Amino acid sequence: MKSKILLLNPPIYDFAAYDFWLKPYGLLSIAGYLRGKVEFILFDYLDRLNPFMAKLKELQSDEWGRGRFYCEQIANPPCLAQIPRYFRRFGLPRNMFQHFLTKQQPCDFILIQTMMTYWYKGIQEVIEDVHKAWPKAKIILGGNYVTLCSSHAQRLGADFLMQGIDLQPLWEYLSVTPDLKQPALWEAYEKLNVGVLKLSDGCPFNCTYCSVQKVYGKFKARSLERSLAELQLLVERGVDSAGSLQVENIAFYDDALLFEAEKVLIPFLEEVLKRDVKVNFHTPNALNVRFITSELAKLMVQAGFKTFYLGLESASLQWQQRTGSKVFCDELAQAVQKLVAAGAYPQNITAYQILGHPHSDIQELEKSMRFANSLGIRGMLADFSPIPGTPDGEYCRKWVDMDEPLFHNKTVFPNILLGFDETNRLKDLQRQLNRNIG
Ligand code: B12
Ligand code: SF4
């Protein structure tokens, strides 16, 4: 008999959360490898197409499929009591899941997606509910939090932690042989309007604030054939009974989407054009502008890329060199020119800059914001989240207890480092600068 698995994407406990093309992609990928070999059901607390959220007007998607989550205000955790912001729980109400559990026959295994390290309270909540309703079910955690904070995660009461990216221990625990050619299990959703793709793993850079190379290693392309099969699945999956396309937006979760483009992204996009696939592509995870050539920019625009998020972080050369030299200012300026010449709209191009980095003293953030603005594109402040095990994250032990993941929260660290007033001043300035961009 096939075992039965519940796929679970927990709610988010945070000061802020927004559906910026958020999908539990690790979880769906694991489930895809087991397609046909086990029985699945999915409960996604963050699915905005669930009728409970879909009916709420204020949660409607914007033109690219992003939007707000349903949320409830809750008390700040005691260690964050000093942070002058409201703490909230984002996602479907808890009693919906409790009711769901009582309606179903218990599953053998529960696979839970973990994402930001500082979101573990949502995992605690769902483990508590599963334990109560289905005491015999085996709970498995995998993903970013488990990988970066494994000793903390061990205290949550799960039965098995899938740490890192070598999945062999998971297959042994589940006693199934995966089919690694299978795409993610997108059909687990009844309705879908946003999809995710990842054409590669890892990154050739090793920025001092980032964990990617430590976890995934250097850049490695995924199978093009599998990515194309996944694109096909998403596009077909999105056609409703009336024949209209629902998956209109696809976000890339790659860390280095443009690296070795001739081997990875270019062949993929050429196939997109050949198959006449009509979707909007987005790059919420910053692109490295160093790799944007005029030809690549043209191909991206032609294939359907609509929003471009570019990693700048700081315009200070000293800061850039101190943190890994992933990008320099002239490279950003040239990339913007090429994208605009290729037909991208400047108001859809955004440069990310880190707010509250521990080396802010040499970052010249305000000057950097004005520099990005002078290129005619939008800026977005990416609040710094200190990550344990990275040089910059470890340096933050000077200010916070890094063994408590709540202190990795991106709202918390900039507030502790710079203070509430300065953080707000910089955010206001960014809003003001963006006003003169289309
Ligand atoms: C996509 C992404 C985002 C998306 C959102 C993703 C989401 N659904 O929430 C966006 C762009 C919005 C985003 C935003 C941010 N992000 Co981000 N993001 C990522 C990225 C690239 C992938 C995460 C992901 O979806 N992984 C799942 C898929 C893609 O992984 P996979 O390879 O298929 O998974 C393998 C294994 O991990 C495992 N696995 C994965 N999931 C599961 C689940 C189960 C059950 C099992 C068994 C196994 C398993 O199996 C897979 C097979 O090998 C990671 C970096 C990375 N490469 O992991 C950073 C990362 C998670 N982000 C990070 C950061 C810093 C941020 C920001 C704070 C940046 C900023 N300042 O704005 C914000 C925070 C947003 C917020 N609201 O708080 C940090 C982590 C920070 C932290 N403290 O946890 C990371 C690790 C990058 C880094 N700099 O090191 N991010
Ligand atoms: S380029 Fe991006 S993904 Fe690569 S190490 Fe630097 S921040 Fe991380």
Q: Is 165 near ligand 1, meaning CB less than 6 Å away?
A: yes
- Percent of the chain predicted with pLDDT > 70: 98
DSSP code per residue over 291-319: G--HHHHHHHHHHTEEEEEEEEE-S-HHH
Atom of ligand 2 nearest to the CA of 288: 1
**Residues in Cβ contact with 234 at an 8 Å cutoff, skipping those fewer than 6 apart:** 186, 192, 195, 197, 247, 250, 279
Q: pLDDT confidence of 242, banded at 50, 70, 90?
A: low
Residue nearest to atom 6 of ligand 2 (CA): 207
Q: For residue 244, is pLDDT > 60?
A: no
Q: How many helices (H) and strands (E) does the chain have?
A: 17, 18
Instruction: Give the whole-angstrom CA distance, residue 250 versus residue 231.
Output: 9
Pocket of ligand 2 (CB under 6 A): 203, 205-207, 210, 212-213, 255-256, 288, 324, 326
Atom of ligand 2 nearest to the CA of 313: 7
Identify residue 388 by its one-letter amino acid code.
P
- Burial of 72: CB neighbours in 10 Å, binned 0-12, 13-18, 19+: exposed
Q: For residue 241, is pLDDT > 70?
A: no
Cα 195 to middle of ligand 2, angstroms: 23
For residues 41 and 237, the model is more confident at 41
Nearest ligand by distance to the CA of 256: 2
Q: For residue 299, is pLDDT > 90?
A: yes
Cα 297 to middle of ligand 2, angstroms: 21
Q: What is the mean pLDDT of residues 285-310?
A: 98
Residue nearest to atom 8 of ligand 2 (CA): 210
Q: What is the mean pLDDT of residues 78-106?
A: 97
Atom of ligand 2 nearest to the CA of 286: 2
Helix H or strand E encompassing 202:
none
CA angle 424, 331, 210 (to 5 degrees): 55
Cα 241 to middle of ligand 1, angstroms: 33
Atom of ligand 1 nearest to the CA of 203: 57
Residue nearest to atom 2 of ligand 2 (CA): 255
CA separation (Å) from 87 to 72, 129, 164, 426? Answer: 9, 21, 30, 22
Instruction: Give the whole-angstrom CA distance, residue 108 versus residue 266.
Output: 42
Cα 177 to middle of ligand 2, angstroms: 33
Q: Is 167 near ligand 1, meaning CB less than 6 Å away?
A: yes
Q: Return the closest-CA partner of residue 127 out of 173, 171, 158.
A: 158
Cα 425 to middle of ligand 2, angstroms: 27
Q: Residue 325, by phi and psi: left (phi above 0), alpha (psi -120 to 50) or beta?
A: left
**Residues in Cβ contact with 147 at an 8 Å cutoff, skipping those fewer than 6 apart:** 163, 164, 165, 215
Nearest ligand by distance to the CA of 387: 1
Q: pLDDT confidence of 17, banded at 50, 70, 90?
A: very high
Q: For residue 245, is pLDDT > 70?
A: no
Q: What is the mean pLDDT of residues 62-90?
A: 97
Cα 256 to middle of ligand 2, angstroms: 7
CA separation (Å) from 407 to 14, 132, 383? Answer: 11, 29, 13
Instruction: Give the whole-angstrom CA distance, residue 339 versus residue 348.
Output: 10
Q: pLDDT confidence of 237, banded at 50, 70, 90?
A: confident
Cα 144 to middle of ligand 1, angstroms: 6
Task: Tell me how crowded residue 435 is: count the other CB atoms within 10 A of its CB.
Answer: 8
Q: pLDDT confidence of 240, banded at 50, 70, 90?
A: low
Q: Return the closest-CA partner of residue 249 out of 298, 304, 188.
A: 304
Atom of ligand 1 nearest to the CA of 141: 45
Q: What is the mean pLDDT of residues 391-395?
A: 98
Return the sign of the alpha-carbon dihedral for residues 245, 251, 254, 256: positive
Instruction: Give the whole-angstrom CA distance, residue 88 versus residue 45.
Output: 14
Q: For residue 289, is pLDDT > 60?
A: yes
Atom of ligand 2 nearest to the CA of 213: 5
Burial readout 326-338 (b: 16 or more C-beta within 10 A, e: otherwise)? bbebebbeebbeb
Q: Is 406 near ligand 1, meaning CB less than 6 Å away?
A: no
Return the sign of the alpha-carbon dihedral for residues 143, 351, 302, 221: negative
Task: Give me the helix-helix angle, 365-374 and 420-435, nearest 10°.
Answer: 10
Residues 360-387: tens digit of each pLDDT: 888 899 999 999 999 999 999 999 999 9
Cα 414 to middle of ligand 2, angstroms: 20
Identify residue 11 by its one-letter amino acid code.
P
Q: What is the mean pLDDT of residues 231-238?
A: 88
What integer best gives the mean pLDDT of the chain? Answer: 96
Residues 117-146: tens digit of each pLDDT: 999 999 999 999 999 999 999 999 999 999
Cα 186 to middle of ligand 2, angstroms: 27
